[in-house]
Structures are given as C-alpha cells and as structure tokens.
C-alpha cells in the first residue's frame, strides 16, 4: 500500500549527523559588552537602488565573490535526551530496556519480559539517568550563518543553535578553513533569530541591504551549507512578501512559534537542510534575509523557501545585545481579519483591516478607548491590511511608545492614541480549549424559558442575582450566562467557555435566554456574540448548525 503524500513543514537545519566535529578549535573567552549603537557602527550597510532597475544579468560571479567570504558553517551538538519512562508505551519497554539499557537500579528482565530490580523482585523502574555527554551520546546538527562584524558577530537562526552545549563555526579565509568555538549572545525563538560571537578579528563581513525595498520578482541568491556542502549558492526570485508563519512553520525542534511574529520573504531559490541561518542576498550581494524554512512534501527543496527579513532580524539583535531578551509592544486586543462574512455582519462596506474581537481589561487598548467591533485600518502611520500585519507592527514597537491608531467605527473614521506596554508572558500562551467548572442550578428552580440551547453545544441561562453573585459579575454587565459547553462543539473550538456572559446576539442586546435563542435562530449561517469574561469583552462568531 502506498503511503499517502502529506505536506510536511521542515526547518532547514540538517538532521543530527553522525560525522565527528572539527577537532582544531580556537578557544573563545567571554566577549566584552557591546551596546546596540556600537553594534550598528560595526555593520556595513548599502541601501542604494539596484542598477538598471534590477534588470537580469548573465553572471552573478561578482555577487558570489562578495558574499561567500562572510558565510560560515555552524556545527552544534547537544546531549541526546533519554525518554522518560512514562513516555515509553508499556508494550515497548522490554524492547527498550533490552537494547538500550534500563534505568538506574534496573536488574534485567524476568521470564515475563518485565523489568526487575537488582534484588530480583518486580518493581517500578526509576527514571533513566541523563545520558553521559560523550561523543556517542551527542546529537549533531549543521546549519549556516553570516559574519556581520569584523570582530566576530555571526547572525543565524535560533533553531540552528537551540539547546546546543557546544557551537563551532567554520570560517573560510582565502582557501583556508579555521574552526572557532562560539558563544550565544542572545536568541529569540518567536522570530527564530540568534546572535553568536566568535573570538576573531579582521573577518570579512556581509553587506546589509534594506529588505523593505524588496519587490516580488527581484533576483535573490541563497547561500549556506546545504547537506554540509559549505559555501554553496543558489539563485531564484522573490516569490512573495509578507508571508505569516501560519501553515509555514509550526513547531520545530521543540521551539513553538506564535502566529503573527514573522513576516517571511518567500523565494524559489533552492533551500535545503543545512541552509538555515545563511544569507538571502539581492543581485548586488546585499543581505536582505536569513534563510529559515521550507515548505515541502519530502523535507527537501520544492521551490518554496522562506527567509526572515533582515530589517526585522537587526531590530531583534538590538534587543538581544541589550539584555539577551526581546521586549515586544502590547496593545491588549484580540483581532481577526475583516472578511466578507464579518463585513456583512457588521454592516461595513469596506474590506481590509483588523476587527477588534476582544479588549483586555485595563489594557492600553481599553485606556485608549478602543471598543469591540472597531476596525483598525492603520497604526503608527502604517497601513493595516489584516490582523497579522497589526500584530507584527505592534510587536515590533518598543513598550512605552505612544502610537496613533486609525479606526473605522460605525462607518466613520477616527484616531485614538495608545501607549504600548510590554508583552506579558501569558499573552504568548495559546488560548486553551478548557472550560471552567461552574455549579449548575437545579432544574426545579429554573423555569424552562430561562434556560436553553443558544447554538449547537451551548446552553445558556438568564442571568439572575444569585448567578451574578456566584460568578462575581458586575452590576453593569447584563445578558445570559453560559452554563454548559459541549467540548466537541464548534462553539467550544471558537472559544466559548462556561461562565461567559453573552450581552449581545447579532449586535442586539439580550435580557434573557428566550430572547437570546430567538435572535440566534434568526441567523442562517453564523451568530455573532458579544461576550464578557472576567473583565474582558470580546466578539465571537459561531457557526449556526
């Protein structure tokens, strides 16, 4: 039977290889502290336009000669993680113990293929010890990077060096290769950017371009070490700009990504495992991106590669140099794209922008006067085409910055000003699908007209004084309360939770369960709910079937 083809997402750092790492290493002392201003002074930049409007040329040998001396190969190694006992299926434990060794205190297998302790008795095995850090217990990877300062700063991907105990960088100079031990200056898993440092001087550096000037169709070259073939270059064009990480990069090497924190350049320049962290350059050899991911059925090049814009990467680097961490702006709203369905439901003729679906209590958005159903069309002077663009602009703005926000409210445009705060850690967590347990009132004390199913899988009840006190709902919040949510329903998947107070159905206020059900049944396809939850207000659009 043929194995069905499936699209797989592949980060382009090579699989852990069995080949040994270079032996001759130049030891690296801890680098001196460098300020962002000093760092910017070290970088060579060129933002001039392409000659002849970027017309095709017959050879890129000059470009390759310019970029290759700054391209390095990065070897990383980390201890192999031994599976926890409870992660190994019981039926596979005998095989695991026999061929890979048992945990501490393991005394072998009995006649029933069960682990026994050294005294010969059956027992619960202890957890395995950590694998010793020798050559046979190291997983190795190969990636790429680029030298961006003559004193040894190297830009690469976070997933190339993530969790590595040792990082080694091969630098080719005039046909001679030298290997250095590198230190991590800082890394940001959310954008997959990392900055490392080697102890060297007089290195040849990459020239940094301006990724904001890229156009779809521009010629680009990808350099790196695909399949361990160092100093390799491929050529293609910019296939698309502004790709979000949704459907491109999911979870790689244990590092989760959060939608909206990347703005990929898509290219058909051949990118393969090992190219990660290498430069994507324009027709003049100026770095415009960092090769980071591919979309492929096989995990190999399929003409769909992605690079992080260099402008974004350098902004991240400035934060990493400061204290090793990235500070992101926080507005305090949940948003969605203004599509045709939502435009019709909200009575808006325009398309494009981000619809405010939730305003956090006490957030910068609430303080600025942003409301549910507002459509954000520009922020800080930059046009907002969709929700991903808004998240990208806000996250790339320093906390404490006051920014103007242009809104579309009730068919009229207005502008408010918000002062961004630092993005809290909990804002990075995915919204859970769990529900809160709520004591349910007895049927005998609840009239039938005051309780019922609003949409499939969601039961609501008229908000009484007792329920209001029990769930600490303010006196100025009115509507119906959700008392039950079917975990397998579409409503649960869209975020409805027990304890939510629904104040409006299809933009009309509701005072009791019967009124809410009548309004919901009047919708053919979707129901728009305004919800109050623990101080926050939000909009949820639920399929009505």
Q: How far is CA 6 from CA 87, 187, 249, 252, 516, in A?
A: 26, 31, 15, 17, 43
Q: How far is CA 188 from CA 31, 155, 319, 327, 460, in A?
A: 19, 12, 10, 10, 43
Tell whether the model's pLDDT for residue 399 goes beyond 80.
Answer: yes
H or E, element range at 197 = strand 193-198
Sign of CA dihedral 111, 117, 122, 128: negative
Which of the four pLDDT bands, split at 50, 70 and 90, describes residue 144?
A: very high
d(CA 516, CA 479): 9
Catalytic site residues? 159, 192, 276
Which of the four pLDDT bands, split at 50, 70 and 90, describes residue 310?
A: very high
Tell whether the model's pLDDT for residue 163 goes beyond 70.
Answer: yes
| Predicted TM-score (pTM) of this structure | 0.62
d(CA 271, CA 463): 58
- For the stretch 232-291, pLDDT in tens is 899 999 998 888 755 454 333 333 444 556 788 999 988 888 888 999 999 889 999 999
Lowest mean pLDDT among 198-212, 373-387, 443-457, 469-483: 443-457
Phi and psi at 48, nearest 5°, equal -70, 150
Listed in sequence order, the residues at least 6 apart from 544 whose beta carbon sits closer than 8 Å to its beta carbon are 455, 456, 520, 523, 524, 525, 526, 527
Instruction: Give the three-state DSSP class for 525.
Output: coil
Domains contained in the chain, CATH given: 8-47+60-74+144-323 (2.40.10.120), 329-425 (2.30.42.10), 446-543 (2.30.42.60)
Least Cα distance to 390 among 435, 335, 431, 436 occurs for 335
Sign of CA dihedral 278, 282, 287, 289: negative
End-to-end CA distance of the chain: 38
Q: 429: buried, middle or exposed (CB in 10 Å: 19+, 13-18, 0-12)?
A: exposed
Which of the four pLDDT bands, split at 50, 70 and 90, describes residue 309?
A: very high
H or E, element range at 336 = strand 333-337
d(CA 214, CA 57): 18
- For the stretch 504-529, pLDDT in tens is 887 778 877 777 777 877 666 778 88
- For the stretch 403-426, pLDDT in tens is 999 988 877 888 999 999 888 765
Tell whether the model's pLDDT for residue 72 goes beyond 60.
Answer: yes
What's the whole-number mean pLDDT along residues 357-379?
A: 87
Neighbours of 248 (CB within 10 A): 18
For the chain, the residue count is 545
Q: How far is CA 231 from CA 68, 355, 411, in A?
A: 6, 46, 56
Which pair of structure tokens corresponds to residue 76?
Answer: 């990383």
* Count of helix runs (H) and strand runs (E) in the chain: 11, 33
Q: Rg of the Cα trace of the chain?
A: 28
Tell whether the model's pLDDT for residue 18 goes beyond 70.
Answer: no
């Amino acid at each position: 039977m043929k194995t069905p083809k499936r699209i797989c997402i592949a980060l382009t750092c090579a699989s852990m290889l069995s080949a040994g790492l270079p032996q001759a290493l130049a030891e690296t002392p801890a680098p001196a502290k460098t300020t962002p201003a000093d760092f910017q002074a070290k970088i060579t930049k060129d933002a001039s336009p392409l000659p002849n409007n970027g017309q095709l040329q017959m050879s890129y040998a000059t470009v390759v000669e310019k970029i290759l001396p700054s391209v390095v190969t990065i070897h990383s190694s980390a201890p192999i993680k031994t599976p926890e006992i409870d992660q190994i299926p019981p039926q596979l434990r005998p095989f695991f113990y026999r061929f890979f060794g048992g945990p501490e205190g393991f005394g072998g297998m009995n006649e029933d293929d069960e682990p026994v302790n050294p005294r010969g008795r059956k027992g619960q095995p202890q957890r395995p010890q950590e694998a010793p850090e020798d050559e046979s217990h190291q997983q190795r990877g190969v990636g790429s990077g680029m030298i961006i300062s003559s004193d040894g700063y190297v830009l690469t991907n976070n997933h190339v060096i993530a969790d590595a105990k040792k990082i080694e960088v091969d630098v080719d100079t005039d046909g001679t290769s030298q290997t250095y031990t590198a230190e991590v200056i800082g890394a940001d898993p959310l954008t997959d950017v990392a900055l490392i440092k080697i102890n060297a001087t007089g290195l040849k550096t990459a020239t940094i371009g301006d990724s904001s000037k890229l156009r779809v169709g521009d010629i680009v070259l990808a350099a790196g070490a695909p399949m361990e073939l160092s100093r390799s270059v491929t050529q293609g064009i910019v296939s698309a700009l502004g790709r979000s990480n949704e459907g491109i990069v999911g979870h790689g090497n244990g590092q989760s990504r959060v939608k909206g924190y990347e703005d990929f350049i898509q290219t058909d320049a051949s990118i393969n495992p090992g190219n990660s962290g290498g430069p994507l350059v324009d027709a003049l050899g100026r770095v415009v991106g960092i090769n980071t991911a591919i979309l492929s059925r096989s995990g190999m090049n399929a003409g769909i590669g992605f690079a992080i814009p260099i402008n974004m990467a350098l902004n991240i680097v400035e934060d990493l140099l400061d204290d090793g961490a990235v500070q992101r702006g926080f507005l305090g709203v949940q948003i969605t794209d203004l599509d045709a369905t939502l435009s019709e439901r909200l009575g808006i003729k325009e398309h494009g922008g981000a619809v405010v679906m939730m305003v956090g209590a006490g957030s910068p958005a609430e303080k600025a006067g942003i409301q549910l159903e507002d459509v954000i069309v520009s922020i800080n002077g930059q046009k907002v085409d969709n929700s991903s663009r808004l998240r990208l602009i806000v996250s790339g703005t320093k906390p404490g910055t006051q920014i103007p926000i242009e809104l579309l409210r009730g068919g009229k445009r207005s502008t408010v000003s918000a002062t961004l705060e630092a993005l809290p850690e909990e804002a990075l967590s995915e919204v859970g699908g769990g529900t809160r347990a709520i004591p349910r009132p007895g049927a005998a004390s609840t009239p039938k007209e005051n309780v019922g199913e609003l949409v499939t899988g969601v039961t609501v009840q008229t908000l009484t004084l007792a329920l209001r006190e029990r769930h600490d709902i303010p006196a100025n919040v009115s509507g119906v309360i959700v008392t039950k949510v079917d975990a397998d329903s579409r409503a649960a998947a869209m975020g409805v939770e027990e304890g939510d107070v629904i104040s409006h159905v299809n933009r009309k206020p509701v005072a009791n369960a019967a009124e809410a059900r009548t309004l919901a049944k009047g919708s053919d396809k979707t129901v728009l709910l305004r919800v109050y939850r623990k101080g926050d207000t939000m909009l949820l659009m639920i399929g009505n079937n």
